[in-house]
Structure 1
Amino acid sequence: MNVKEKLIAALREKETRMIDIRRYLHQHPELSFHETETAKYIANFYIEKGLDVEVETDVNGEHGVIVTIDSGKPGKTLAIRADFDALPIEEETELPFASENKGVMHACGHDGHTAYMLVLAETLAEMKEELHGKIKVFHQPAEETPPGGAIGMIKAGCLDGVDNVVGIHVISTAPFGKVLYCEGEMHSARSFFKLTIEGKGGHGSSPHVANDAIVAGSYFVTILQTIISRRINPFDMGVVTIGSFDGAGSFNVIKDKVTLDGDVRAMSEKARSIIDAEIKQICDGLEVTFGVKCRLEYTTDYPVVYNDPTFTRQVVDILKNTKLDGVDGIEQTVPQPPSEDFAYFAEKVPSTFIHVGGQVEDKPTYFHHHPKFDFNEKALLVCAEVMGSIVVDYLNEAK
């Protein structure tokens, strides 16, 4: 057997361990910037294998675990990344290994990313003498919550000497066995905001002596959508969503203040900058039109995930030339609306971010961030085999 065949055979023998690790992590989720025990679990896994572990802590207190696997031979350095934070969601899956932490759930698959990566890294370390160059394994915290954990790891120097980065995300709604890639823009950029509108409270029977903040807020929600329909190129992607409108009160009381929380997505920095500017301009107009005071807190965070076309084609060629039993097609997909802080890695070095189908069998499918989210655990082995194949061929072809 060649090196890749040995790796795949070893991974298949360890599939049960991947599943066991995933289920343990699923039972013990931790929120972004609070993943202390998860980081310890990851670090201890490698320490017990005799591997050198770096745990990077930045000003936000996040913990990114980095393991370098050095073949001892000259060659390129490839980084492979998995995230490990959970979400503030009360789990409703009724799985036997459901979350034991109330109000916290692995509802995006990061438990699976961590599980397959641990076993893959262990196996690559066992075979390092048959490889060339270096592998840097990034276990990244805080993907779900701005400013994201990638920034802290990059500031700590994780990309020093790295030629390329690969990331994989399991997708619950994609058919099991499908590997999906996209050249160029893969995931949208994101901004978010909080708008507080202050008017003048009063009695519902006498609106003329008050200044209704709810009316101004409602106008804002409605006119906001004209940014997408009238300011963004129809061939570009932009989305503005108001996720929260806090105007609760009594039926006969005119509210003096309301708070709105909004989400912005765009597939280009140009589109995002237009949306950002237009929202601020609308707020200025609200003050003039309704005589209210607007306090806008606006944050621009994750950029567009850009898959370097040349490197992406190299990765796709590797996969198309590899026979993997669990892979039922390698297909180009369209750009995806959700955002990902993998974008920060891709800004610094040529990178690619691919999806692996993980649709469950014999039960309803729920999208990521849903309280009933789950994925097909067979996808763990597929992720490991796909990433492992990329690593082996990338390093040994570039020796």
Structure 2
Amino acid sequence: MRRHFRMHPEVGGEEHETQKKILAELAAMGVKARAAGGTGVIADIPGAPGGKTVAMRADIDALPITDEIEQPYRSLNKGICHACGHDGHAAMLLGAAKTFAAMAGELPGNVRLIFQPSEERFPGGAEIMIAAGAMDGVDAVVGAHLWQPLPVGAIGVTNGALMASPDEFTITIQGKGGHGSMPHQTVDSILVASQLVLALRTITGANVDPREQAVLTIGMFKAGEVFNIIPDTAVLKGTVRSFDQSVRDAVFGQMEAYCRGICAASGASYVIDPIFGYPPVVNSPKVTTVIAEAGCEVAGVEVQDVKPLMVGEDFSYYQHKAPGSFFLVGAGNPAKGCIHPHHHPKFDIDEDALGYGAETMVRAVLKLLAR
């Protein structure tokens, strides 16, 4: 299944064939499923009446990246690639579904399967799936991410904050253009934006409590077209990553202050357009403890504590509806060439990780149902 999805990737909101494949596989298992959230799938495997309901979530979308792996399962869809591991997430959840389907009459509660579209494309697909009933009646939720920085055989868990809020911003500086030989007649947007870049990069060090975590990065600076013309406009784009709303407010507040002060001193004007991303992924200690216990029971698995990551994930929306935990499944292996980071065109996983991840999920869900 993982190789099928790798060969036939689809970007967020367009996972039509992926949805059909998942529905067909679940039907073959005898699992009742329905299309939801546009291109997602929700399925239920019923257990004992009156039992709890535990959900498992996998994201299924790919990235607009050209696949460069030299493998027979290389993407057949031009310019689209599962360069983040979501092909494996869908496969692991189908593997877990097959296991639970065979145990349907013995389950102490109900299992909910959530195949979510559009995790990579903001505003994400989690809220759409929740609106479609994905979390109705759910008592706990579990999610997993194949993770190249961890070696295959490792399961990474974290109590509390695991992933940050991935916010974006655009700052447009409006100056006054003119000829490069007469800078005194202009308001140089490049000069103003350059001062802003330097000032903004000091925020996390000077204006954030050192006991908190935050990242501010400028990823784009665009201005001008001609070597001897001072442009009237410059545009900066960047990202802010944080785990706490007060930190988020402090960073964006200081950003506004720097823009206001530097532009006022230079005679320029500015506009800040923030895009606030997913909430941080904050794991339930109780659910995380169960996942760690489950991982310890899987042959060949070593459970590791992992530090918080500054990446973002819309799994956080499910955690707002029920206690949940998101864990990492080691998928890196230099011996098999699995060395490239996520979102790299040569990203690949050690497929041994699929079994470790699926079994950990199954064991964790059984424990949660029993408790």
Where on the TM-score scale, by shorter chain, does this alignment land: which range? over 0.9
Residue 36 of structure 1: aligned partner? 16
Q: State the match for 2:340 in structure 1.
A: 366
Which residue of 2 is the match for residue 143 of structure 1? 119
- Maintained 8 Å contact 2:96/2:358: yes
Q: Residues 330 and 353 of structure 2 are in contact (CA less than 8 Å); yes or no, is this contact kept in structure 1?
A: yes
Q: Secondary structure of the equivalent of 1:73?
A: coil
Matched letter for residue 95 of structure 1: Q
Within the candidate set 239, 250, 255, 2:231 is matched to 255
**Distance across 2 between alignment mates of 1:90 and 1:167:** 27
Unaligned ranges ≥5, structure 2: none
Mapping 1:54-73, distance limit 5 Å: 54-57=34-37, 62-73=38-49
Residue 361 of structure 1 contacts residue 376 of structure 1 at CA under 8 Å; is this kept in 2? Answer: no
- Give the fraction of aligned pairs with identical amino acids, expressed as a percent: 39
Q: Which residue of 1 aligns with 2:100?
A: 124
2:329 maps to 1:356? yes
Residue aligning to 2:281: 305
Task: Decide which of 257, 260, 270 is 1:281's aligned counterpart.
Answer: 257
Name the TM-score, length of structure 1 as normaliser: 0.89
1:321-346: CA deviations, max 9, x gaps?
x2x2231x112111112111111111
Is this contact kept in 2: 1:189–1:269, CA < 8 A? no
Name the residue aligned to 1:228.
204
User: Is 2:24 the counterpart of 1:50?
Assistant: no
Aligned twin of 1:340: 313
Residue in structure 2 matched with residue 26 of structure 1 by the alignment: 6
In the comparison of the two structures, how many residue pairs are matched? 370
Tell me how far apart the structure 1 counterparts of residues 27 and 63 of structure 2 sit (CA, whole Å): 27
Structure 2 CA distance, aligned partners of 1:390 and 1:86? Answer: 27
For residue 78 of structure 1, the aligned residue among 30, 41, 54 is 54
RMSD of the TM alignment (CA)? 1.6
Structure-2 separation of matches of 1:48 and 1:203? 70
CA distance in 1, matches of 2:77, 2:130: 30
Measured after TM superposition, the shift of residue 235 of structure 1 is 1.4
Distance in 2 of aligned mates of 1:104 and 1:67: 27
> Which residue in the other structure is 2:367 paired with?
393
Q: Tell me the amino acid that sits aligned with residue 269 of structure 1.
A: Q
- What is the deviation of 1:314? 2.7
Q: In structure 2, what is the equivalent of residue 292 of structure 1?
A: 268
Residue among 332, 351, 355 paired with 1:381: 355
| Structure 2 equivalent of residue 90 of structure 1 | 66
Compute the TM-score of the two structures, normalised by the length of structure 2. 0.95
Kindly provide the amino acid, as one letter, of the partner of residue 345 in structure 2.
Answer: P
Q: Are 1:133 and 2:116 matched, yes or no?
A: no
1:160–1:364 Cα change, 3 Å: closer
The unaligned stretches of length 5 or more in structure 1 are: 1-20
- Cα offset, 1:185, TM superposition: 0.7
CA shift at 1:91, angstroms?
Answer: 2.2
Please tell me whether the aligned partners of residues 54 and 139 of structure 2 are also in contact (alpha carbons under 8 angstroms): yes
Shift of 1:64: 2.2
